[in-house]
Amino acid sequence: MKKLLMIGVLALTMGQASAQRCLPKMQGIEVNGSFVDGKAFDKAFSGGVALSTYTKNGSKWVFGGEYLQRDYGYADTTIPVAQFTAEGGYYQKLLTDGSKTLFVYGGASVLAGYESVNWGETLLDDGARLTDKDAFVYGGALTLNIEVYLSDRLALTGNVRERCLWGNDTGHFHTQYGVGLKIMIN
């Protein structure tokens, strides 16, 4: 009789449980890396760390820091341009599946930071002088972000992102394609 009762309870509750993901006030730390502007990874790359805090509707606030570097060729050498930026933004949940394994977000962020051209050295080895200078940068980013949960505490992420920064001499727009790993911390 106990087995029959247990089978009946299981049959009635089957399909009722849902994953405990993206609940209000849950937080996750993400580490990510990206290709930049369609260049080879050794010529342009970025990496960052971000903290996500989820809201009542499954959307999220994101706060983080990022390092982006592009190498420009000149004669027999390369000139590195590096950006150190801090980010704060809101990502709206656009789509999810019934099992809460896949989430798609669209987001907008504010960025601010510092850009270094050739690590501050304006004089090159051949005597040429760079006219681009180090500068504080500011702007924003639009992001399409995907999270695929491998477990309740671990997610694989992917994103496409367009950054627009002013205050610099080396180009305002940068497109990023990246992947990351998110660990839920509470």
Establish if 158 belongs to a structural domain.
Answer: yes
Q: Which residues contact 155 (CB under 8 A, 6 or more apart)?
A: 28, 147, 148, 149, 181, 182, 184
Query: Which of 44, 78, 64 has its CA nearest to residue 173?
Result: 44
CATH code, domain carrying 61 = 2.40.160.20
* Band of pLDDT at residue 23, cut at 50, 70 and 90: confident
Residues counted in the chain: 186
Domain of 51 in residue numbering reads as 18-184
Report H helices in the chain. 2-13
% of the chain surpassing 70 pLDDT: 90
111 versus 132: the higher-pLDDT residue is 111
Q: What is the mean pLDDT of residues 24-40?
A: 91
Is pLDDT above 50 for 16? no
Q: Which of 15-19, 64-68, 69-73, 76-80 has the lowest mean pLDDT?
A: 15-19
Cα(114)–Cα(168) distance, integer angstroms: 9
Establish if 148 belongs to a structural domain.
Answer: yes
Cα(112)–Cα(176) distance, integer angstroms: 17
